[in-house]
Structures are given as C-alpha cells and as structure tokens.
Structure 1
Amino acid sequence: MNDDPSRRRLGRGLAALIGEMDRPAPQAEKAHVAADGKVPIEFVSPNPRNPRRHFGDADLTDLAQSIREHGVVQPVVVRPSPAQEGRFEIIAGERRWRAAQRAGLVEIPVIVREVNDRTALELAIIENVQRADLNPVEEAMGYQQLIDEHGYSQADLGQVIGKSRSHVANTLRLLKLPEVIRDMLVEGVLSAGHARTLVTAEDPAGLAKRIVEEGFSVRQAEALAQMPAAQQREHKPNTAAQKDPDMLALEKLLCDATGMKVTISHKDRGGEVRVAYRTLEQLDDLCRRLKRE
C-alpha cells in the first residue's frame, strides 16, 4: 500500500458514503446532498460503467412481483446525471430499477448523492462486491477498471473494498482466461476456484470442459492442470466419478430449471443433489420456487 494521504482519506470517505447510502441524508448535509424522495422512473438511467452486466430474468420477474405487492423497500441510490439536467444516473440499485419497470411503477424512491465519476464507479463496485451481486468476471473487470482509470494498486483495492490483496490478485487472474471459460464463469457452470487453476494450463478450454463433465474438485483440477496436455488426456483422477449420459442430462435439466450449478452424486443406495448459488438472492429465489411447487 502506498503512503499517499489522499488515498487513505479516500478509503475512509468511501466507507462513510457506503454507510450512508441506505439512510436518509441528515438535515445538516442538505447543502451538499439532496433529500430522499420519489422521481419519475423514466428520469433514472443506468450507469453505463456499472460493473454488473448480467441480471437473471427469473430473478427480475420474482422481484417485480414482490415490488407489486410491497413496493420498492430499499431506495435506489443515484446521482444527478452529468449529461442531462433534471435526470439521474444510478450508483447502486439497477436491479431494483429494472424490476420496478417490469412491475409498472411510474415513480421510484431514490437517495441522491453528489459524487463525481470516480467515486460513482468506486461505490458501484464496492456495493456490488459487498452484496456478492457480481459474478467472478464482473468483479475482476470492476477491479481492472479502478486500476486502469484511477491508478489503484492491488493493495489499495484490497484495503478500500475490504478484501485481501491475494483475493484481488487471484480475481484479476481470471481476465487472462479465454472468453469461452469466462462465459462458463458468468453462467455459473464453472467456479472461480476451478477457473484459477486453468490460467497456466496448456489447453484451458479443453480442461475446463472436462472439469465440468467429470465433476473434478478444485484440487483435482489443479493437479491435472500442472500436467502436460498429453498426460492430461490419459489421467483419470481416482475419485472422479464417471457419470452416465442420463445422469448428466438430469443435471443439465436441473441447471436449466434453477439457473444454478447442480451436481448429482448417485450411488447404489442413494446419493445427494448439490445446488451451488452465488448470492443470497439466488438462494431466496430457489426457496420461493420450491414453496410454489
């Protein structure tokens, strides 16, 4: 971590802003920060530099139904649009804004914060990381944005975001992977732990496919990735169960139905079904679906 005092102040300032985002602005700050209120939903626009790019359709549909019944419980955090007077740009809460549109709302509650481009990007990344709303690729791209555009070091990022430097470094390594593997990460088919083992592999795409199809653990994938490609093709990890096509088809059916990674471990006297979720919202969505069924 460098000793730039402005960077240290930045960390404290961001922590304060994050803490304030879900509270109404105190009376003493009204000279600098607009009060809470509702604005026409068409006056609010997404941040084009928001690190979060993927919004699950089923998740948005369920949230829209909740908004129809209970309204928008948590206001969207916005800033005055730097491009259009009288309009607002989202800092945090784009998912709520999208769901509110689906629900047919004409107004949406907002908390307005007067921040510049840099701080808006920082807050968007930190808010999404703390909520675990980003997939691993989005998280890595968000970190890279801060490094490229604002000169952060990995140590700086770790301190401000509340993650270890090694977490930041390992997440950034995912950007070195081929696009086909990054797509698997976005879809939740491959975990970040598995993906990191592929960064130095001779044939990362082929190995990624095998990891998914044969259900390798991270440790097995790591050992396999360190072998020459020719040896990888011959190697069969002792504990890697070979699944028949019917079982693989059933796993795919459950993955498609839930939008999550589902693995089935079947033995003669039964087995287990594992569902991997990335966020608590996904888990809530699964619980709602099971209750409906």
Structure 2
Amino acid sequence: RWRAAQKAGLTKVPVVVKEVDQDVHSLEMALIENIQRQELNCIEEAIAFQQLVDQFQLSHEEIAIRVGKSRATVANTIRLLKLPAVIREDITAGKLTMGHARSLLALEQTEDQLAIREEILRDKLSVRDTEKRVNERLKAKADPNSAEKPASERDVHLQALEDRIRRHFGTKAKIVGSPKKGFIQIVYTSQDDLNRISELLLGKDA
C-alpha cells in the first residue's frame, strides 16, 4: 500500500497499526485482508469465512467485525457450503445467483435442492420464481394433501404472509391459527442459524 501511495504522490497513508504476537495471527490477518481486498465470488468468500472459523476459532460475530459485514451476512454466506457440490459449482460458474442459493437452502433434503436446481437451469427461473417453486415443494412435504384442498380452507392472506416469512428468513416457517389468533414457527438448524435469524428479527444488537 505504501508503494502504491508513493507512486500516486502521497506522503501520508491512513493505516491501522496492529501488534501481532504469532505467525498464526499473521495468517489470520492476511486471510481477512484477502477477503476485504479481493473480488471473491460468494462461494470463495464462504470458504474463506469457514477457514477463519476452523483455523482461528473465530465466531461469526468476530468475523463480521473484522471484515466489515453484518453477522447475518457472514452466517448466510457460510450456509452456502451446505449445498451440494454441483450447486456450489453452478454458483461459482455464474449459472446460479446468491438469491437462487438462499432459496435452495430453505430445502433440507439434497434431492429436493437438486430437483429445484434442475428446474432453475431448465426453465431459466428468476429468484422470485425459484422461491415459489421451493415454497410449493415445502408445502407439499408438510401436507401431501394440500394440493387437493380448496383455497377457501386456508386464509389467502396468511398463506401469502407465510411465503414472505420463508423467503425473508431463508428457512422453513409456518403460520398456525387464524387471522385473529395463532403463532408463527420459524425453523433453525444450529446456534449460528439462530443468531442469523435473531439478527434479522431484532437487528445487529440481538
């Protein structure tokens, strides 16, 4: 950075001075700088975040502070590594977007993720269309007879709201009850997933 500043004719460069006690801390800092400065795709970024977790025992919150992103962003990015290898390759190749990937993460079964992936590529689905396909599959699995029920048996507004909640949190969600009274179920699969959902609900200070 100093050499670049000299070439630009600058005599002062804003820097953050950090004391590094061990080589391992140097490696950690180098990896974080690489994340901040390189144009990584979301899968490469997810791998780098996971490396910080595995090698340096950093929490999602600590990573978020170091790289200047929200905890939810870090958690959502790392979740991409749960997707099948072929889907991760599609994301890296630009065939699928981060939005497609987040929609697929709402499906727990690999076979369901791969089935929707085929539909995305075959039908050139937008992210919104993908969300609809995912929600349809989730509903069918939750209630195999749901397709046979008339629309009047379920409040249309509640159904639309349930779909929005699923899309917003990127996970299974269900509204149980009537328009006047009931409760909402939101599924989480790990402590980090719970933290991610909490941040979406309550903000960064959750």
With the shorter chain as reference, the TM-score category is 0.5 to 0.7
The answer to whether 1:191 aligns with 2:94 is: no
2:94 and 2:36 map into 1 onto residues whose CA distance is 17
Say if 1:158 and 1:164, in contact at 8 Å, map to a contact too.
yes
Classify 1:120/1:194 alpha carbon distance in 2 versus 1 (closer, same or farther; 3 Å).
same
Say if 1:200 and 1:225, in contact at 8 Å, map to a contact too.
yes
Spell out the pairing of 1:45-194 with structure 2 (5 A cutoff): 116-131=23-38, 133-194=39-100
Say if 1:197 and 1:221, in contact at 8 Å, map to a contact too.
yes
1:129 and 1:213 map into 2 onto residues whose CA distance is 35
The answer to whether 1:222 aligns with 2:201 is: no
Q: 1:206 aligns with which of 110, 115, 124?
A: 115
Structure 2 match to 1:16: none
Structure 1 match to 2:151: none
1:162 and 1:180 map into 2 onto residues whose CA distance is 30
What TM-score do the two structures reach when normalised by structure 1? 0.38
Q: Secondary structure at the match of 2:2?
A: coil
Classify 1:213/1:126 alpha carbon distance in 2 versus 1 (closer, same or farther; 3 Å).
farther
Classify 1:215/1:115 alpha carbon distance in 2 versus 1 (closer, same or farther; 3 Å).
farther
Q: Secondary structure at the match of 2:136?
A: coil
Say if 2:35 and 2:67, in contact at 8 Å, map to a contact too.
no
Structure 2 match to 1:266: none
User: Which segments of 5 or more consecutive residues in structure 2 lack a partner in the other structure?
Assistant: 8-20, 142-146, 148-206
**How many residues in Structure 1 have an aligned counterpart in Structure 2?**
127
1:146 and 1:162 map into 2 onto residues whose CA distance is 15
Say if 1:125 and 1:139, in contact at 8 Å, map to a contact too.
no
The Cα of 1:213 is off from its aligned counterpart by: 2.6
Structure 2 match to 1:93: none
Classify 1:130/1:163 alpha carbon distance in 2 versus 1 (closer, same or farther; 3 Å).
farther
1:24 and 1:230 map into 2 onto residues whose CA distance is 58
Amino acid at match of 2:119: R
Say if 2:32 and 2:66, in contact at 8 Å, map to a contact too.
no
Q: Secondary structure at the match of 2:104?
A: coil
| CA deviation map 1:71-120 (0-9, x unaligned) | xx9xxxxxxxxxxxxxxxxxxxxxxxxxxxxxxxxxxxxxxxx9723333
Say if 1:139 and 1:171, in contact at 8 Å, map to a contact too.
yes
2:81 and 2:29 map into 1 onto residues whose CA distance is 19
2:73 and 2:59 map into 1 onto residues whose CA distance is 13
Structure 1 match to 2:2: 23
1:124 and 1:148 map into 2 onto residues whose CA distance is 13
Give structure 1 regions of 4+ aligned residues with deviation exceeding 4 angstroms: 229-232
Classify 1:213/1:134 alpha carbon distance in 2 versus 1 (closer, same or farther; 3 Å).
same
2:127 and 2:33 map into 1 onto residues whose CA distance is 27
Say if 1:195 and 1:208, in contact at 8 Å, map to a contact too.
no
